[in-house]
């Protein structure tokens, strides 16, 4: 491993290009093209091309969907390529399988990325300025085709037509002042929230403190083997629709308001999930009840209380093979929420293809059984229970409201609504009474 910060500019230039060509992750990344263009421009000593290529690379680093953790755009990008992209080694480790070829390739990759992590924007600018100064002091000579071809191979680019004498003269004559945006933006730290933050923060620190990344290969393997890879590191809940898995916003995982209207049902659900998470058995669930009884809210609040759980919500009942293959290849536990579906429409062979790390929860408005799931009912609230729940919600929010007023409001609501007394209706009524007391 060579520390690029402490190399002479010419030496650093000769080291960077082979490293970039050797990195399989960088070669496949969006920044590969502007980075190679920059190295090629530096090698030719073209001032304007150097400036354009540097800022193209800076824009790519700035706009890439990577996490800000290191205080440096380049370091953020390398960490993202290694830890947050589902490359072959990450998928192998997450699935719990071993492949000697992937392991050997990742050791080389870590050594390369560790060396490149010593590169900074300041070092790169110094290298550019030194190369341009050398080009100005030395008259530019027209290069033959052999030299042009060797430069293209060295930089990973393609050969272009030889510049005309007029082009060479114009480039060499450029003496204007060049300005370069720096890549440093602040101090290291987590600026947003990821599902695997507990482990990510530790591995970020280990990689940033020492550029010998190849020594951390077991740490990296164990990280993927424990926390999965790709989108599962960032989000805890997803929606599967049109054969695509999309993250649900964190706001969808709101904690249930206190008090809980159906405490016994909540306890049954939580017990089943805890046993599943601890590997003590899988009890699939069927939640049935009318609209607004809080069935879906009960389930969506579970990842909030069980951070190691991942939730996938869908109404698709067929063509789930691709989803099941994706979930089976992760070391995580998943709750598959079939929301507001008819038990009769669920394929009878669903359990035959279901991975062992997935528990199914069906919510339905139908009063129909599902032979392979535990039935948990959410019956309509009676008037007394409805009124008591509204009062408890107000008390929890420190809203002073006498019992008679609450009871009258509940009676009025029941008469006006002429519908089942539900949890969502009680919450809306409590909010209306709270606003009236302000």
Q: What is the DSSP string of 315-328?
A: ---S--HHHHHHHH
Region 49-66: mean pLDDT is: 92
367 and 406 fall within a common domain:
no
What integer pLDDT is reported at residue 172 of this predicted model? 44
Region 366-395: mean pLDDT is: 89
Give the dihedral sign, CA 18/24/27/30.
Answer: negative
Quick: pLDDT tens for 150-181. 555 555 555 555 555 554 444 444 445 677 88
- Average pLDDT of the residues of the chain: 86
Region 244-248: mean pLDDT is: 92
- Give the DSSP letter of residue 309: E
Of 2 and 353, the structure prediction assigns the larger pLDDT to: 353
| Banded pLDDT at 76 (limits 50, 70, 90) | very high
Assessment of whether the complete model's pTM goes beyond 0.85: no
219 and 179 fall within a common domain:
yes
- Give the DSSP letter of residue 159: -
Quick: pLDDT tens for 190-210. 888 899 999 999 999 999 999
20 and 69 fall within a common domain:
yes
Region 51-69: mean pLDDT is: 93
Which residue among 378, 412, 428 closes a domain? 378
Number of domains in the chain: 3
Which among 435, 345, 357, 419 is positioned nearest to 386, based on CA atoms?
A: 419
pLDDT at 431 over 90: no
Axis crossing angle, helix 32-44 with helix 9-22, rounded to the nearest 10 = 150
Q: Are strands 285-289 and 374-378 parallel, antiparallel or unpaired?
A: parallel
86 and 210 fall within a common domain:
yes
Q: Which CATH number do you get for residue 360?
A: 3.40.50.300
Region 53-75: mean pLDDT is: 94
CA geometry: angle 371, 376, 263, nearest 5 deg: 160
Which residue among 175, 210, 232 closes a domain? 232
- Give the DSSP letter of residue 72: B
Q: Tell me which H or E stretch contains 374.
A: strand 374-378
257 and 284 fall within a common domain:
yes
43 and 142 fall within a common domain:
yes
Which among 186, 174, 73 is positioned nearest to 121, based on CA atoms?
A: 73
278 and 420 fall within a common domain:
no
Tokens, residue 292 = 């607004």
Which residue among 378, 394, 409 closes a domain? 378
Quick: pLDDT tens for 102-122. 999 999 999 999 999 998 888
What integer pLDDT is reported at residue 160 of this predicted model? 54
160 and 306 fall within a common domain:
no
309 and 208 fall within a common domain:
no
339 and 431 fall within a common domain:
no
254 and 137 fall within a common domain:
no
Tokens, residue 423 = 């949890």
What integer pLDDT is reported at residue 174 of this predicted model? 45
12 and 81 fall within a common domain:
yes
Cis preceding linkage at 259, omega within 30: yes
Full domain range(s) for residue 407: 383-437
């Amino acid at each position: 491993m060579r520390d690029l910060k402490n190399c002479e500019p010419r030496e650093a230039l000769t080291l960077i290009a082979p490293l970039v060509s050797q990195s399989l992750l960088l070669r496949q990344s969006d920044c590969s093209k502007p980075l190679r263009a920059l190295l090629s421009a530096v090698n030719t000593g073209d001032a304007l091309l150097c400036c354009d290529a540097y800022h193209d690379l800076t824009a790519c680093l700035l706009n890439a969907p990577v996490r800000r953790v290191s205080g440096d755009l380049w370091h953020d990008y390398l960490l993202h390529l290694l830890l947050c992209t589902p490359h072959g080694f990450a998928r192998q480790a997450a699935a719990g399988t071993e492949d000697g070829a992937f392991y050997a390739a990742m050791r080389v990759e870590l050594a390369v990325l560790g060396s490149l992590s010593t590169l900074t924007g300041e070092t790169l600018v110094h290298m550019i300025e030194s190369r341009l100064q050398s080009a100005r002091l030395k008259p530019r000579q027209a290069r033959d085709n052999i030299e042009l071809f060797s430069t293209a191979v060295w930089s990973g680019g393609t050969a272009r037509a030889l510049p005309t004498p007029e082009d060479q003269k114009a480039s060499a004559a450029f003496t204007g002042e060049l300005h370069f945006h720096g890549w440093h933006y602040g101090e290291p730290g987590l600026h947003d929230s990821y599902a695997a933050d507990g482990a990510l923060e530790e591995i970020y620190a280990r990689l940033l403190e020492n550029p010998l990344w190849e020594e951390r290969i077991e740490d990296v393997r164990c990280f993927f083997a424990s926390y999965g890879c790709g989108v599962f590191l960032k989000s805890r809940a997803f929606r599967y629709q049109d054969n695509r898995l999309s993250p649900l916003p964190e706001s969808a995982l709101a904690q249930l308001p206190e008090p809980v209207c159906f405490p016994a049902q909540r306890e049954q659900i939580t017990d089943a999930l805890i046993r599943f998470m601890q590997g003590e058995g899988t009890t699939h669930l069927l939640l049935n009840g009318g609209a607004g009884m809080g069935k879906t809210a009960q389930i969506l609040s579970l990842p909030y209380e069980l951070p190691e759980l991942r939730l996938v919500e869908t109404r698709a009942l067929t063509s789930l093979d691709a989803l099941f293959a994706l979930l089976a290849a992760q070391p995580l536990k998943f709750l598959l929420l079939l929301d507001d579906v008819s038990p009769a429409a669920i394929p009878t062979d669903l359990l035959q293809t279901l991975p062992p790390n997935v528990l199914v929860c069906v919510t339905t408005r139908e009063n129909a059984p599902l032979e392979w799931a535990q039935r948990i009912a959410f019956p309509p609230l009676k008037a007394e229970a409805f009124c008591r729940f509204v009062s408890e919600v107000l008390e929890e929010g420190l809203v002073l409201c006498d019992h008679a007023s609450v009871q009258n409001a509940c009676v009025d609501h029941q008469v006006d609504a002429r519908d089942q007394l539900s949890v969502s209706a009680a919450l809306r009524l409590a909010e209306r009474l709270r606003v009236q007391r302000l």
